[in-house]
Amino acid sequence: MDEIKCPVLTEKTIRLLEKNQYTFEVNYKSTKTQIKFWIEKFFNVKVKGMNSHIPPEKKKKIGPIIGHSRRYKRMIITLQSGYSIPLFSNK
């Protein structure tokens, strides 16, 4: 389960929840096939479609050294109707 890091909750991703689409930050080097396998196995759902998004790097400057922010990948996962993923526990 190291491939999937955390769910992303922004204004856009909350709107996508109405369309049965969930957004997760995933490992940069993982493939769509690996992510689909882990989502279906861990949450017991059926994946209908997947979209990946790699945002551009941002420059960071610390003194005279110029570096880049850490790379990450986001996956927007569409589930088949009748399935859902609980993002929050009811405790």
87 in a structural domain: no
pLDDT at 45: 93
Whether residue 61 contacts residue 24, with contact meaning beta carbons closer than 8 Å, is answered with no
Three-class SS of residue 38? helix
84 in a structural domain: no
Q: Which two tokens stand for residue 33?
A: 């096939």
pLDDT at 90: 52
89 in a structural domain: no
pLDDT at 69: 79
Give the pLDDT of the chain (91 residues) as one tens digit per residue: 678 888 999 999 999 999 999 999 999 899 999 999 999 999 999 999 999 999 888 888 888 888 887 788 999 999 999 999 887 655 5
What's the number of CA atoms in the CB half-sphere (13 Å) around residue 71?
7
37 in a structural domain: yes
Number of domains in the chain: 1
> Which domain range does residue 64 map to?
4-79
3-state helix, strand, coil in the chain (%, to 5): 20, 35, 45
Q: What CATH number is associated with residue 35?
A: 3.30.70.330
32 in a structural domain: yes
